[in-house]
Amino acid sequence: MCDTYNAEPAAGDDEPLFIRSRALIGTEGIERLRKLRVAVFGIGGVGGYTVEALARAGVGTLYLIDGDRVSPSNLNRQLYALHSTVGQYKTAAAAARIADINPACTVHQIIRHILPDADGSLSFLPFLSDIDFIVDAVDTIALKAALAAEAEARGIPIIAAMGCGNKLRADLFQFADIYGTSVCPLCKTMRGLLKKRGIKKLRVLYSQEVPTARSRPPSSVSWVPAAAGILLAGDLLSQVLQY
């Protein structure tokens, strides 16, 4: 079957980014995405693919929070990890790629390792007052709990990725409330932390796969964190577009 389409937008059409998505999400949906402000914490194996999907969907403002540089060990799974980007900050590599995909997207780089205050809060992050949605793709458990608490306190929707390491089955991911999860060791730890903080709900993406190993640092392959990152973006966009 031949897939025939116009390579260039017709007169009066929007920019090329939306040629294929307009019929599905409509002009109203495109405008929602343009106005959307998303903070993605962690631009690694999971978060990098989330950022990519959000940028290609036409999200207007992205806050990228990560203090790490691209390392050779990232090459097997992280979108922004190339031989040419080793040594660069991950946020910088991501911002350069986004500019080449969606120049209209405003990208804010927060190049730092985020740790909660002594009281467990993230009140020192003023940009959170401007955010419409948070994606938690970090590995640090204390930060994951702090993000959940901060999002609840501010009334900001949040999706959190649970454990993606030591896994081979990309088809076993599912969304659930943290208190309805099973199998995942990280979910169990998070449930305890969130109970202590009085947090009664948190939407998470987790895997029902029993970890195949318990190496430190966790082992990982190319397809599992990538799938998780795309799923996070899809869930966020479905909530925003209400489909």
Question: CB-side exposure of 179: number of CA atoms within 13 Å?
Answer: 8
Residue 3 belongs to a domain: no
Number of structural domains found in the chain = 1
Residue 225 belongs to a domain: yes
The tens digit of pLDDT for each residue in 74-108 reads: 999 999 999 999 999 999 999 999 999 999 999 99
Residue 217 belongs to a domain: yes
3-state SS string for 182-208: CCCHHHHHHHHHHHHCCCCCCEEEEEC
**159: domain range?**
23-241
53-74 per-residue burial string, b: 16 or more CB within 10 A, e: under 16:
bbbebbbbbbbbbbeebbeeeb
The tens digit of pLDDT for each residue in 177-232 reads: 999 999 999 999 999 999 999 999 999 999 999 977 677 788 999 999 999 999 99
The CATH number linked to 55 is 3.40.50.720
Residue 85 belongs to a domain: yes
